[in-house]
Structure 1
Amino acid sequence: MADMSGKTVLVTGAGSGIGRAIADRFAQDGATVVCADINPETAEAAAGELLAGGFKALAVEVDISNEESVAHMVETVVDITGRIDTVAANAGVMVEGDILSLSLDDWNRALTINATGAFLTARATMPHLLNSGAGALVFTASTVALSGMRGVAAYSAAKGAIAALTRQIAADFADKGVRANAVAPGAVRTPLSESQFRARARDDAHFDELLGGVIARYPMQRWGESPEIAEVVHFLGTARSAWMTGQILPIDGGLLELR
């Protein structure tokens, strides 16, 4: 546990999956957690669940690819809580296809939502992270930012940009009291990932086969779970990692090192 009483943690993509687990984890330490999501219903549901459990939370709708929407999110958070201490820039989207099958629209969508969204979130929140005196910015990258994988050219490029942006922000702001790190998850079983496999599957048996094919690539022979990613984001977003910045931490069941 880390004492986050009186602090504000902003989590984008908090409506489901990894983002929701991140919000839950920070709430346990007494922080006011901002559940930001493009879907206002899921943002409200996430914040409502925390409030019902006696935690401090609020919901904000945001489109991280839209500069005005991001600015409005930050303004709303600061108006209500007065500060932003930690940002978990988690929101993103998967876009599949190699360079021959991707359209320009597909490419732009992957880069705009993932990479530009991370940039806009970081830029808008940075003044408040600087004001906090010990701000922490944690991006959600991916193992594909560190090693190629078939069929995800645009997504890989976008997550690679996030990894590079993480290191650059760390270099630019380390002496100003703001740390920037990233997690690089492998395959995590979330409602979104399941829906993507379900869309490809011919039937239930084929769905199970597709999921099994993913697990077979991992030395630990299982999917990652959202709370496992959230635990590392929490570590990077609190004083427990006070002498770490510019790091990209794989959370991947051994995929990159042992395959």
Structure 2
Amino acid sequence: MTSLNDATSDQRTAIVTGAASGIGRAIAQRFATEGMAVVCADLNAAGAVKLAADLSAAGHRALGIAVEVTDEASVAAMAARALEWTGRIDTAVANAGVMVEGDILSISLAEWNRALQINATGAFLTARAVLPHLLASPAGTLVFTASTVGLVGMKGTAAYSASKGAVVALTRQLAADFASRGVRVNAVAPGAIRTPLSESQFRARAADDAEFESLLQQVIGRYPISRWGTPKEIAEIVLFLASDRSSWMTGQIIPVDGGLLELR
């Protein structure tokens, strides 16, 4: 298998949005250990900077910056800062997102718009900002974080499902548009991943620790591999999609879901 830093290339630069915690944090850490220079971007600027400092202290090359993925100027500034830092962008992971729960009769228009703005428009703006630079890379790759609920219907996730369905469609469309120009575009579709964000959502629903654990078990009960997934498990698949190891793949949506979609 070809390393991300093979003997014929300089160190590659990756941007990861939503990098301050959860899946994004795990992706940034995994890219760094693989030898990439990593731009850790997040609305939580302090968290992004702290992650970059930790990676740098461990001997990796990392930069932490703030980004608001729904703001075109902020996303453009993120790409410009990455170029200023290393002079190249080889990989971008459009991972920043938000969960909005509720069926279509219970959510507000503001909640609907929030899900679409952050998850779908944020992915669009990130892709548009980095694609000119990915085209200049000898092996440009773009990876989106989609979701299993963007592939099948699940109860109580109207806005989230619609926004992640848009990410799925955008992945395939960009793959078709840019395959002949040397940029590969794929997506990972996680199932239930235990992160600080997902835990906080279940904590908010639970009256006590016992109910919290019961809610977590209810989720696990739907999965053939009867446990929650981990951010590190998603990061490994994203690394594969970003690397030369997947060099003949584009337009793919890879479920990483404990068998949920195929075996339930």
The TM-score normalised by the length of structure 1 is 0.99
Task: Tell me the equivalent position of 1:15.
Answer: 20
For residues 223-242 of structure 1, the aligned pairs below 5 Å read 223-242=228-247
1:132-176: CA deviations, max 9, x gaps? 032000000000011111111000000000000000000000000
1:3 aligns with 2:8: no
Match of 2:256 in 1: 251
Residue matched to 2:140: 135
Shift in Å at residue 6 of structure 1? 1.4
Distance 2:177 2:232 in 1: 30
Q: Select the residue among 157, 172, 194 that pairs with 2:177.
A: 172
Aligned to 2:37: 32
Give the Cα–Cα distance (whole angstroms) in 2 for the partners of residues 130 and 97 of structure 1.
Answer: 39
**Aligned residue type for 2:168:** A
In structure 1, how many angstroms separate the alpha carbons of the residues matched to 2:124 and 2:108? 23
The amino acid of 1:170's aligned partner reads: A
Asked if 1 retains the 8 angstrom alpha-carbon contact of 2:14 and 2:90, the reply is: yes
Deviation per CA, 1:105-144: give whole Å up to 9, x if none. Answer: 0000000000000000000000000000320000000000
Conserved in 1, the CA contact under 8 Å of 2:190 and 2:255? Answer: yes
For residue 138 of structure 1, give the secondary structure of its aligned residue in structure 2.
strand
Counterpart residue type for residue 2 of structure 1: S
1:146 alignment partner AA: L
Amino acid at match of 1:3: L
- State how far apart, in whole Å, the 1-side matches of 2:216 and 2:72 are: 36
The answer for the alignment partner of 2:88 in structure 1 is 83
- In the TM superposition, what is the alpha-carbon distance from 1:3 to its structure 2 partner? 2.9
User: Percent of aligned positions with the same letter in both sequences?
Assistant: 66
Partner of 2:161: 156
Structure 2: gaps (5+ residues): none
Separation of aligned partners in 1, 2:118 and 2:104 = 18
Which letter does structure 2 place at the counterpart of 1:12? T
Question: What CA distance in whole angstroms lies between the structure 2 residues aligned with 1:3 and 1:147?
Answer: 33
Counterpart in 2 of 1:101?
A: 106
Instruction: Tell me how far apart the structure 2 counterparts of residues 110 and 199 of structure 1 sit (CA, whole Å).
Output: 19
Cα shift at 1:49:
1.1
RMSD over aligned Cα atoms: 0.8
CA deviation vs aligned residue, 1:82-114 (integer Å, no higher than 9, x gap): 010001111100001100001110000000000
